[in-house]
Structure 1
Amino acid sequence: MFGIFKRKSELEKLQDSYKKIMEEAFKLQSINRTDSDKKYYEADMLMKKIESLQSKQ
């Protein structure tokens, strides 16, 4: 009921960021391949951070 006041954890923020970057990369894939590859690389770096945070928990 009061979930709207709950703050997102660092892990949830990174996961949202990852999802957003992956969507952007997918959209860029048909327009500009080099920009798409850069976005996929950013997403990969975020995934590594996410995995390191999950392994600490």
Structure 2
Amino acid sequence: MFSLFKTDPTKKLKKEHALKLEQAMKAQRNGDIRSCSQLTLEADEIYKRIQEIEKASQV
């Protein structure tokens, strides 16, 4: 009944994930492959957390 007032726990993580991917893209365009790979790894970890939260909420 009160699900209307609940916040999405993944909303902040999704925003952070998109930001990391954008930073990785900019690093790659600037030729900084090491930073690009590090940012991509961080984005992947955030995405895994998002999937875990979504999987837990479906059960």
Q: TM-score, normalised by structure 2?
A: 0.79
Residue equivalent to 2:37: 37
Please tell me the root mean square deviation across aligned C-alpha atoms, in Å: 1.6
- The separation in 1 between residues aligned to 2:24 and 2:6, in whole angstroms, is 27
Q: Which amino acid aligns with 1:26?
A: M
How far, CA to CA, are the matches of 1:9 and 1:34 in structure 2? 33
Partner of 1:9: 8
- For residues 43 and 23 of structure 2, what CA distance do their matches in structure 1 show? 10
* Misfit runs of 4+, over 4 Å: none
CA distance in 2, matches of 1:8, 1:24: 26
1:26 aligns with 2:25: yes
Rounded Cα–Cα distance in structure 2 between residues aligned with 1:7 and 1:18: 21
> 5+ residue gaps in structure 1?
1-5
Structure possessing the higher radius of gyration over alpha carbons: 2
Identity of aligned residues (%): 21
Query: What is the TM-score of this pair, normalised by structure 1?
Result: 0.82
